[in-house]
């Protein structure tokens, strides 16, 4: 049986100077920093452990920055703006290392960005200008002008661009192959995913210079698309899209009747799956330890006001539906998974809570306004969120007593079955504690005293420091003695799935 949803509070929260909106959070490809985008021409660099601002990236744009891309392969950070500039940043000097101009007869505001250093490509999507929405491709070795462009893929502002994993990682499982006996052309090694406010989601050959041959699969959802992404589930590629009205659509990448690539098996989740839903967070249990004051101030009812993001990295249900994050106007977060009833299917099941990430219990932890950005750091078991009041918060998933319920019985029930085994291990650990030496016992007493003193000075702790478990060195793998062993078991529960 799956455990009830956990309740957690922000481990750390840090308000930024001047409280700018935080619109997106992107990890730096080379440093332990987070790059925060605002409705401005500058980016904020924040430390991913303390959440404190370190510096700003400036003087690369003269207009609003619309997109940020981290190229892990090339170790470069890029941004695109409404001023038609695409900037590669030097994080050491905090200045622009190079600037690409999006110019086709006139400057073109860039609204989406993707980068592949291995392919020497910088790809920018633009606003609709003179009845054309461009996808422009630059060779980063000669970026003075676009190498080629796709101008007929979309008919309105482009909202997302990303490069999918190598097709060999998912096409074989989908029944597709690099060659076809039916005469269909072989599929390229890499595909470009694009979305637009015209309602279209497309998969294109990003290396095809002839735009008439570039689009390999496309579907029109009939709703203005605000964002889209692709993710793998059990060897198959899926694409999700979020509308401006906070509805969600999911397609599978599959084979058509003539062996061509298609976006198929559309499943839609309406706005009501995410907005204006009532929730009742658990008020007691092993996963919520509260003082009398905190219990009086506890939130007994929440109502979601908007969809924050779709988060496949947090978990995927049996039918391939990702966990989603919804928010309240007061800054609370509810993580939801697809519920599997006795007769559920991918189209009939609903979303139910997996965890509550709440504001409080003190006024300085969590958010007090609409949350606009969420980033899941899978390797460090942390969630970072940013809000309209300029607050950056970090949430430790390692502090949750149980792994998030994802809606897949094979995963959720497996965790429940482990419970008895772990209880037996705990008994063995208690025996080990009884045999500790007198010196170790004295040291333990000192540690307990220091912890009590620490709690009196700073208040109760609701989890380890962000991404570092119980290890103050920040290695993310820590703890000693019993807690260290428990932490290792907790890590296993949070392996990627």
For 426-444, write each residue's pLDDT tens digit.
445 444 434 444 444 444 4
Domain ranges of the chain: 1-12+278-497
* Chain centroid offset of residue 89 CA: 22
CB contact set of 290 (below 8 Å; sequence gap of 6+): 298, 361
pLDDT in tens, 436-468: 444 444 444 444 444 444 444 333 333 344 554
How many other C-beta atoms can be found within 10 angstroms of the C-beta atom of residue 95? 13
Q: How confident is the model at residue 165 (pLDDT cuts 50, 70, 90)?
A: confident
* 71: β partners: 76
Q: What's 258's DSSP letter?
A: T
Is the pLDDT assigned to residue 281 strictly greater than 80? Answer: yes
Helix (H) or strand (E) holding 33: strand 33-37
Which residue's structure tokens are 């969420």?
A: 374
CA dist 300 and 297 (Å) reads 9
Three-class SS state of 453: helix
Q: What is the CA radius of gyration of the chain?
A: 24
Helix axis angle, 481-493 relative to 409-434, nearest 10°? 170
Structure tokens at 336: 């939801």
CA dist 47 and 218 (Å) reads 40
**pLDDT value, residue 341:** 53
**pLDDT value, residue 480:** 38
Structure tokens at 473: 């060195």
CA dist 21 and 251 (Å) reads 32
Mean pLDDT of the chain: 82
């Amino acid at each position: 049986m799956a455990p009830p949803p956990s309740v957690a509070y922000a481990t750390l929260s840090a308000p930024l100077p001047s409280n700018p909106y935080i619109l997106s959070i992107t990890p730096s490809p080379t440093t332990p920093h987070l790059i925060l985008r605002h409705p401005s021409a500058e980016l904020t660099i924040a430390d991913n452990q303390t959440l404190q601002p370190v510096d700003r990236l400036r003087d690369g744009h003269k207009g609003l920055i619309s997109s940020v891309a981290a190229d892990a392969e090339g170790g470069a950070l890029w941004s695109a703006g409404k001023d038609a500039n695409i900037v590669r940043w030097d994080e050491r000097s905090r200045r622009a290392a190079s600037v690409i101009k999006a110019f086709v007869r006139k400057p073109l505001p860039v609204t989406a960005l993707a980068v592949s250093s291995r392919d020497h490509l910088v790809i920018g999507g633009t606003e609709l200008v003179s009845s054309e929405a461009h996808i422009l491709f630059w060779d980063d070795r000669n970026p003075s002008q676009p190498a080629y462009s796709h101008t007929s893929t979309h008919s309105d502002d482009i909202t997302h661009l990303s490069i999918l994993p190598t097709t060999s990682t998912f096409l074989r499982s989908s029944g597709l192959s690099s060659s076809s006996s039916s005469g269909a052309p072989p599929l390229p090694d890499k595909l470009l995913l694009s979305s637009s406010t015209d309602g279209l989601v497309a998969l294109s050959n990003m290396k095809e210079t002839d735009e008439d041959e570039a689009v390999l699969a496309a579907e029109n959802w009939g709703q203005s698309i605000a964002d889209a992404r692709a993710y793998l589930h059990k060897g198959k590629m899926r694409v999700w899209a979020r509308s401006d009205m906070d509805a969600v659509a999911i397609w599978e990448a599959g084979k058509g009747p003539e062996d061509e690539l298609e976006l198929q098996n559309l499943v839609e989740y309406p706005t009501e799956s995410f907005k204006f839903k009532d929730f009742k967070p658990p008020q007691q249990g092993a996963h919520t330890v509260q003082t009398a004051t905190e219990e009086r101030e506890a939130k007994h009812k929440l109502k979601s006001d908007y969809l924050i993001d779709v988060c496949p990295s947090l978990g995927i249900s049996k039918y391939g539906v990702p966990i989603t994050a919804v928010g309240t106007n007061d800054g609370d977060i509810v993580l939801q998974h697809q519920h599997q009833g006795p007769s559920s299917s991918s189209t009939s099941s609903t979303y139910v809570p997996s965890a509550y990430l709440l504001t409080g219990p003190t006024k300085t932890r969590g958010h007090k306004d609409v949350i606009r950005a969420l980033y899941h750091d899978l390797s460090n078991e942390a969630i970072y969120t940013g809000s309209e009041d300029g607050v950056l918060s970090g949430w430790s998933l390692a502090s949750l007593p149980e792994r998030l319920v994802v809606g897949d019985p094979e995963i959720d029930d497996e965790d429940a079955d482990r419970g008895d085994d772990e209880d037996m291990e705990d008994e063995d650990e208690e025996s080990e504690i009884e045999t500790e030496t007198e010196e170790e016992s004295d040291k333990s007493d000192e540690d307990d005293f220091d912890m009590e003193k620490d709690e009196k000075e700073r208040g109760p702790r609701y989890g380890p420091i962000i991404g570092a478990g119980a290890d103050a060195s920040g290695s993310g793998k820590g703890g000693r003695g019993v807690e260290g062993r428990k932490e290792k078991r907790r890590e296993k529960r949070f392996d990627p799935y």
